[in-house]
Amino acid sequence: MSSIALPRAVAPRRAWLTDLPLLLVAVVWGASYLAAKDITTARTVLAVLVLRFAVVVPVLVVVGRRALLALTAAQWRGAGLLGLILGGIFLLETYGVVHTSATNAGLIISLTMIFTPLAEAAVTRTRPSRAFLAAAGLSVLGVLLLTQNGGLSRPGGGDLLMLLAALARTLHVLAMARLKGIRGAAALPLTTVQLTTAVVVFAILSAGGGGATPWATAAGFGAREWAGLLFLAVCCTLFAFFVQMWAVRRTSPSRVSLLLGTEPLWAATAGIALGGERLGVWGLAGGALVLVGTAWGRGAAR
């Protein structure tokens, strides 16, 4: 790994200084499921999403205003389309985590690492390796075991929503790679347009739905809820976004993927250590299979 992961000029100490922030991104992303579950109910999903991105978007607009003005009409349209997909991802993830455990949510979403190469192979009409197919099967078996509570039963609604979120993430990755309209645009303005599009969707749905309004939800927040919201907005969105932009210029994509791929481990750790969640024998076995399967699948795909 070391022979391909680092440019020749990068010393081990400097590599560690790059790896640590990436590892922190994986940690906060893993903890985000528990934070979202702690401050969100089925009635406040849309309101919390509006509040979360209302904190983030103005900062991104101010920082990247010049880059936004440089976008072409085609790049605006492409980024807007990606924003619609991104909005769907956040809706599925947030509704999903409300109806399942934070541990299940983090582990099921990790199947994106398996779904993406499979979808790419279908689009490019190339056959995945046997090792990859075996890893995919192992991960699917792990999810089935993970969603059991003391015996074989149908997965819950929250688990199915997280599975759909993993598929939506796959669609988002493929769209980013294949949309010609966004080529040549910088990451900052593209992300700003995507998040702005998503928050507009959330605001429209919130205004037309029967759930709690953003201002009523904000008024009912105590110190704990505001801390959770700021954690999601500042750490899980702003911090994570800028670290990825910074790190990708200093290390290899394979190393970035490897470090961010530890997200499910931190989701399970946060759910068990901080959320008091218990997986049981079936769940522990399933979680282990998901982690092994996704790691094996990344290696086989690479």
261-277 pLDDT per residue, tens: 677 778 777 877 777 77
Listed residue (59, 298, 76, 47) closest to 185, CA to CA: 76
pLDDT at 3: 32
Q: CB neighbours (10 Å) of residue 76?
A: 18
The CA distance from 228 to 55, in Å, is: 13
| Band of pLDDT at residue 78, cut at 50, 70 and 90 | very high
pLDDT at 8: 44
pLDDT at 29: 86
Q: Per-residue pLDDT averaged across 59-71, rounded? A: 92
Listed residue (300, 271, 266, 262) closest to 128, CA to CA: 300
pLDDT digits (tens, 9 = 90+) for 121-144: 888 888 878 888 888 888 888 877
> From residue 249, how far is each of 44, 73, 81, 252 by CA, in Å?
38, 27, 26, 8
pLDDT at 117: 79
Residue 214 makes CB contacts below 8 A (sequence gap 6+) with 46, 47, 50, 51, 54, 203, 206
> Which amino acid is residue 70, in one-letter code?
A
Furthest CA-CA distance within the chain: 57
Residue with more model confidence, 220 or 6 = 220
In percent, how much of the chain has pLDDT > 70?
85
Q: Per-residue pLDDT averaged across 144-152, rounded? A: 63
The CA distance from 32 to 29, in Å, is: 5
The CA distance from 37 to 102, in Å, is: 7
Residue with more model confidence, 91 or 117 = 91
pLDDT at 7: 43
Q: Per-residue pLDDT averaged across 47-69, rounded? A: 92
Rounded to the nearest integer, the mean pLDDT of the chain is 81
- Quick check: 165 pLDDT over 90? yes
**Burial (0-12, 13-18, 19+ Cβ within 10 Å), 169:** buried
53-57, 91-95, 150-154, 267-271: least confident range: 150-154
Residue 171 makes CB contacts below 8 A (sequence gap 6+) with 85, 119
Listed residue (93, 41, 87, 43) closest to 213, CA to CA: 43
pLDDT at 49: 94
Please, are residues 71 and 79 in contact by the beta-carbon 8 Å criterion? yes
pLDDT digits (tens, 9 = 90+) for 281-293: 887 888 888 878 8
In percent, how much of the chain has pLDDT > 90?
29
pLDDT digits (tens, 9 = 90+) for 192-244: 999 999 999 999 999 877 678 999 999 999 999 999 999 999 999 888 877 87
pLDDT at 20: 83
pLDDT at 2: 30
pLDDT at 301: 63
Please, are residues 139 and 294 in contact by the beta-carbon 8 Å criterion? yes
